[in-house]
């Protein structure tokens, strides 16, 4: 299955059953929650990006967050940063060892840095961000070999749906 190259990519409409994908399929349900979270951002006039942090069991949602830059006037209020902060608060410590962050759009440099700092085990994202992505597109901060913590990265989970959510937001503005 081809992964959309950019946020602006509009996938062809297909009703065909997709082949099973053992790498991405386990994260689809969590990504649906992130997509739902992203809708809350759009309702407040923010770019629709949503994130959830899963506990080490891979299914329990510890925290969620959506982009709140416009809503709060805080330039650091990205979905990932808010979700990481809330997950750490829920756990009572800053280390999110064993946890997975699931986000609809490839993290930017700030969020990639925050993810490394949080010690999450895994970063799962939907659409690529060719213009600002820091988890494989423009940079690969999360897997930089010079850093001592490198989370696993799984990209392209519900990528079409995530990209379309962004595309329609910018189209309707």
Per CB under 5 A, the segment of 94-102, 103-111, 116-124, 149-157 that binds Zn ion is: 103-111
Per CB under 5 A, the segment of 1-9, 73-81, 124-132, 139-147 that binds Zn ion is: 73-81
| Beta strand residue intervals within the chain, DSSP E | 50-54, 61-66, 100-105, 122-127, 152-155
Paired tokens of 60: 């329990």
Sequence ranges of the binding site for Zn(2+): 78, 108, 111
User: Bridge-partner residues for 50, per DSSP?
Assistant: 66
Tell me how far apart the alpha carbons of residues 32 and 77 are, in angstroms, rounded to a whole number: 21
Question: Is residue 80 annotated as part of the catalytic site, yes or no?
Answer: yes
Q: How many residues does the chain have?
A: 173
Closest CB 131 distance from Zn ion, rounded Å: 13
Determine, following the binding rule CB under 5 A, whether residue 111 of this chain makes contact with Zn ion.
yes
Closest CB 88 distance from Zn ion, rounded Å: 17
Determine, following the binding rule CB under 5 A, whether residue 105 of this chain makes contact with Zn ion.
no
Q: What is the dihedral of CA 137, 132, 53, 104, to 10 degrees?
A: -80
Closest CB 103 distance from Zn ion, rounded Å: 9
Question: From the candidates 68, 80, 106, 155, which is the catalytic residue?
Answer: 80
Q: What is the dihedral of CA 83, 86, 91, 93, to 10 degrees?
A: 100
Determine, following the binding rule CB under 5 A, whether residue 69 of this chain makes contact with Zn ion.
no
Determine, following the binding rule CB under 5 A, whether residue 85 of this chain makes contact with Zn ion.
no
Binding footprint of Zn ion on the chain (CB under 5 A):
78, 108, 110-111
């Amino acid at each position: 299955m081809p992964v959309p190259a950019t946020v602006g990519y509009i996938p062809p409409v297909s009703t065909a059953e997709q082949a099973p994908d053992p790498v991405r399929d386990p994260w689809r349900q969590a990504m649906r929650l992130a997509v739902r979270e992203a809708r809350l951002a759009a309702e407040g006039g923010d770019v629709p990006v949503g994130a959830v942090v899963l506990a080490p069991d891979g299914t329990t949602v510890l925290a969620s967050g959506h982009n709140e830059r416009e809503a709060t006037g805080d330039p650091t209020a990205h979905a990932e940063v808010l979700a990481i902060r809330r997950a750490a608060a829920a756990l009572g410590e800053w280390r999110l060892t064993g946890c997975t962050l699931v986000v609809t759009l490839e993290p930017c440099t700030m969020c990639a840095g925050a993810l490394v700092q949080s010690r999450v085990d895994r970063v799962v994202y939907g659409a690529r961000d060719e213009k600002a992505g820091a988890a494989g597109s423009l940079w690969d901060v999360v897997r930089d070999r010079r850093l001592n913590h490198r989370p696993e990265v799984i990209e392209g989970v519900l990528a079409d749906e995530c990209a379309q959510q962004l595309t329609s937001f910018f189209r309707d503005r």
